[in-house]
Structure 1
Amino acid sequence: MKNMLKYFISKEFFITLLGLGLLGLLAYLLIFFIFLPSYTRHGEALLVPDVYELPWEEAQNILKQKGLRVEVRDSAYYDDLEPLTVVSQYPVALSRVKPNRKVYLTLNKRVPPMVKVPDIEGFTLYQAKSRLESWKLGIGTVSTRPDLADNVVLEYSYKGRRLSPGQEVPQGAQINVVIGSNYGSGRSTEIPNLIGLTYEEAVNTLRQYHLGVGSVIYNPNGPPEEEGKVYNQNPRALPGDSLQVGQSVNLFIYGKEPEQLEGVEIEVIKNN
Structure 2
Amino acid sequence: MSEEEMDRETEDRTEEKKRTMSTGRAVRITLLNLLAMVAVGALIIVGALFLLDVYTHHGEAAKVPDLSGMTLSEAQTAVRSMDLDLEIVDSIYTEGMAPGVILKTSPGPGSIIKKHRTIFLTTNTTTVEQVVMPAVYDTSRRRAQAALRSAGFVDVTIKMVPGRYNDLAVEVSDRQTGQVIQPGTKLPFNTPLVLSITSTSSLDSLYDADTTAVDREVAEALQRIGQAEEPDGEDLPEL
TM-score with structure 1 length normalisation?
A: 0.49
Question: Which has the larger strand fraction?
Answer: 1
- Larger displacement relative to structure 2 (40-49 or 66-75): 40-49
**1:120–1:128 Cα contact (<8 Å) kept:** yes
Q: Please tell me whether residue 176 in structure 1 is matched to residue 183 in structure 2.
A: no
- Determine the structure 1 residue equivalent to 2:128: 112
- After superposition, the C-alpha distances for 1:131-183 in whole angstroms (9 at most, x for unaligned) are 21111113444444332333433222123321121111112222123333423
Which structure: greater helix fraction? 2
Tell me if structure 2 keeps the 8 A contact 1:150–1:184: no
- Give the structure with higher Rg (CA): 2
> Is there any run of 5+ residues in structure 1 with no aligned partner, and where?
186-272
Q: Trace 1:74-85 onto structure 2 (pairs within 5 A).
A: 74-79=90-95, 82-85=98-101
The residue aligned with 2:234 is none
TM-score (norm. length: structure 2): 0.54
Mapped contact 2:154–2:189 kept (Cα < 8 A) = no
**5+ residue gaps in structure 2?**
1-17, 205-239
Structure 2 equivalent of residue 102 of structure 1: 118
Q: Distance in 2 between matches of 1:126 and 1:5?
A: 100
User: Could you tell me how far apart the structure 1 residues matched to 2:127 and 2:102 are?
Assistant: 15
**Cα distance change of structure 1 residues 19 and 79 upon mapping to structure 2, 3 Å threshold:** same
Q: Which residue of 1 aligns with 2:228?
A: none
Q: Aligned AA for 2:132?
A: K
Q: Alpha-carbon deviations, 1:55-93, whole Å to 9, x = none?
A: 43455455555532012345444557542134565x554
State the AA in 2 paired with 1:5.
S
Say if 1:78 and 1:108, in contact at 8 Å, map to a contact too: yes
The 3-state SS of whatever aligns with 1:130 is helix
Q: Aligned residue for 1:8?
A: 25
8 Å CA contact 2:161, 2:203 repeated in 1: no
What residue in structure 1 maps to residue 207 of structure 2? none
Please name the residue that 1:167 is paired with: 185
Q: Give identity over the alignment, percent.
A: 24
Q: Which residue of structure 1 lines up, in the alignment, with residue 148 of structure 2?
A: 132
- The verdict on how the C-alpha distance between 1:74 and 1:34 changes in structure 2, with shifts beyond 3 A counting, is closer
What are the superposed Cα offsets for residues 92-133 of structure 1, whole Å, 9 maximum, x if unpaired?
Answer: 548875421223434322221322101222344443332211
